[in-house]
């Protein structure tokens, strides 16, 4: 990935209000992984992280995260220094599909005691700690844009969205953040 | 907002994450190249459009992305059940059908509408 331009469409943006802070996440490598039930274990072994098979669950190990998106679909994310693409190339020969989507997505951290209210301004899912505990992840919607939501801690969420929608998602969260403090 | 049970995510999720995809259990003819235009149009275009209990395909587009099947009452818009794609058409119990029936606004059939009074007829 050394020779690849690291696109950060939200670079330099910051927002903070009462009980809420927004911050663009640093660039990371992402893979869209598809594999059938018979290959799950083998794929997990090759990339060094057991893929979660429970709906809405994720697993993080040595800075690599695997997010369950569907019964045969995962999003694998890792910081550039972990060499995720080298690990992924080991899958050559295994029946699966791994597509580099590092530049398709970007991410925003939503943090603070009001994070839940800000996200629920546009996300229809139940984000209470019982329904969406720490480590839970799901593809869902915010406003008019599709996102992948990951709860890193009770008050910290990672919002993955498509790069071209990131301006919309950011402004949506800022608007929600402004009204959350009223 | 309507909540729909996704058989793959195994929980109720908001309607906005889903898309309807038409009637379910329509098998593509195995001899598709041999059938006549009339038979093809019957398979491809003609749908039952039942009023009442319908079997439909739905897709959890903004979720797990999977197609699944649902049984729904098209009058009351209530979902009776959902099941994974490829599973056979389920048998419905009387209670399930009753629970999804719309609340009737019309008076019951055994109580006829009151006929106009003699005074009104005289006018």
**pLDDT (tens digit per residue) in B6-41:** 999 999 999 999 999 999 999 999 999 999 999 999
Q: Which of A100, A86, A96 is nearest to A30 (CA)?
A: A100
Closest chain B residue to A139, measured at CA: B63
Q: Does B11 touch chain A (CB under 8 A)?
A: yes
Contact at CB, B14 and A124, closer than 8 angstroms:
yes
Give B-chain residues touching A69 at CB under 8 angstroms: 64-65
Count of domains in chain B?
Answer: 1
A69, B65: Cβ pair inside 8 Å? Answer: yes
Cα dihedral sign for B39, B43, B46, B51? positive
pLDDT at position A2 is 52
Helix (H) or strand (E) holding A146: strand A145-153
User: What's the complex ipTM?
Assistant: 0.86
**Which structural domain, as residue segments, surrounds residue B65?**
3-122
Contact B62/A140, CB-based, under 8 Å? yes
Instruction: Give the domain extent around A133.
Output: 15-180
Do the chains contact at B64 and A124, CB–CB below 8 Å? no
Is A1 domain-assigned? no
Residues of B with Cβ-Cβ distance to A71 under 8 angstroms: 8, 64, 66
pLDDT in the model for residue B73: 93
Q: Is residue A6 part of a domain?
A: no
| CB contacts, 8 Å: A125 with chain B | 13-14
Instruction: Test A140 with B8 for CB contact under 8 angstroms.
Output: no
Helix (H, G, I), strand (E, B) or coil at A76: strand
Q: How far apart are CA A182 and CA A178, in angstroms?
A: 7
Residue among A98, A100, A110, A93 at smallest CA distance from A148: A110
For residue A9, give both structure tokens.
């469409």
Indicate the helix (H) or strand (E) that contains A99. strand A97-100
- Kindly report which listed range (A58-62, A95-99, B68-72, B105-109) carries the lowest average pLDDT score: B105-109
Q: Is A56 among the domain residues?
A: yes
Q: Are B89 and B25 in contact (CB under 8 A)?
A: yes
Q: What are the chain B neighbours of A70 within 8 Å (beta carbons)? A: 8, 63-66
> How far does A31 lie from chain B, in Å, by closest CA?
16
Give every CB contact of residue B29 below 8 A, 6+ residues apart in sequence. B35, B39, B43
Q: Average model confidence (pLDDT) for chain B?
A: 86
| CATH number of residue A145's parent domain | 3.30.1360.120
**Neighboring chain A residues of B17 at a CB cutoff of 8 Å:** 124, 140-141
Residue B70 vs residue A4, higher pLDDT: B70
What is the number of structural domains in chain A? 1
**Position A5 in a domain:** no
A56 vs B62: CB contact, 8 Å cut-off?
no
Q: What is the DSSP letter of A128?
A: S
Q: Is residue A137, in this structure, part of any structural domain at all?
A: yes
Nearest CA in chain B to A75: B64
- Following DSSP, what letter does each residue of B26-65 receive, concatenated? -PPPTTTTTS-HHHHHHHHT-----SSEEEEEEE-TTTT-
**What pLDDT is stored for residue A46 in this prediction?**
87
Which of B2, B6, B65 has the most A C-beta neighbours within 10 Å, making it the best mutation to test the interface with A?
B65
Residue A115 lies in a domain: yes
Using a CB-CB cut-off of 8 Å, the residues of chain B touching A124 are 1, 14, 16-17
Return the CATH number at B32: 3.30.2270.10
Position A156 in a domain: yes
Between A161-165, B43-47, B111-115, the lowest mean confidence (pLDDT) is in: B111-115
> A69, B64: Cβ pair inside 8 Å?
yes
A74 vs B86: CA distance, rounded Å? 22
Q: A141, A144, A149, A159: which to substitute to probe chain B, counting the most B Cβ within 10 Å?
A: A141
3 state SS of A150: strand
State how far the alpha carbon of A179 is from the alpha carbons of A19, A119, A124, A142, in Å.
Answer: 11, 12, 18, 16
Residue B12 confidence (pLDDT)? 93
pLDDT by 10s per residue, chain A, length 182: 455 677 788 988 999 988 999 999 999 999 999 999 989 998 888 888 899 999 999 999 888 999 999 999 999 999 888 888 888 888 888 899 999 999 999 999 999 999 999 999 999 999 999 999 999 999 999 999 999 999 999 999 999 999 999 999 999 999 999 987 65
């Amino acid at each position: 990935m050394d020779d690849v331009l690291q696109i950060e469409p939200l670079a330099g943006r910051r927002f903070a209000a009462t009980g809420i802070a927004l911050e663009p996440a640093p660039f990371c490598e992402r893979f869209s992984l598809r594999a059938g039930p018979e290959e799950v274990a083998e794929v997990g072994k090759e990339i060094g992280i057991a893929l979660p098979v429970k709906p809405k669950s994720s697993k993080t190990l040595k800075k690599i995260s695997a997010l369950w998106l569907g019964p045969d679909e995962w999003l694998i994310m890792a910081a550039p220094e972990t060499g995720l693409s080298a690990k992924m190339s080991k899958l050559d020969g295994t029946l699966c599909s791994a597509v580099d989507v590092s530049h398709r997505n970007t991410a925003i951290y939503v943090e603070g005691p009001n994070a839940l209210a800000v996200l629920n301004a546009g996300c229809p899912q139940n984000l209470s700690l019982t329904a969406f505990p720490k480590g839970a992840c799901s593809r869902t919607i915010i406003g008019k844009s599709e996102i992948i939501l990951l709860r890193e801690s009770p008050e910290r969420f990672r919002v993955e969205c498509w790069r071209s929608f990131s301006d919309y998602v950011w402004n949506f969260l800022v608007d929600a953040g402004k009204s959350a403090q009223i | 907002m309507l909540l729909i049970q996704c058989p793959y995510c195994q929980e109720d999720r908001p309607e906005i994450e889903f898309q309807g995809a038409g009637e379910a259990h329509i098998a593509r003819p195995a001899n598709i190249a041999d059938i006549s235009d009339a038979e093809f149009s019957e398979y491809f275009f003609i749908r039952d459009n039942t009023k009442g209990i319908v079997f439909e395909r739905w897709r959890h587009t903004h979720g797990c992305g999977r197609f699944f099947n649902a049984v729904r009452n098209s009058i009351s818009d209530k979902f009776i059940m959902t099941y994974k794609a490829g599973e056979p058409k389920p048998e419905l119990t009387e209670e399930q059908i009753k629970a999804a029936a719309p609340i009737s606004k019309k008076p019951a059939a055994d109580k006829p509408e009151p006929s106009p009074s003699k005074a009104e007829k005289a006018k």
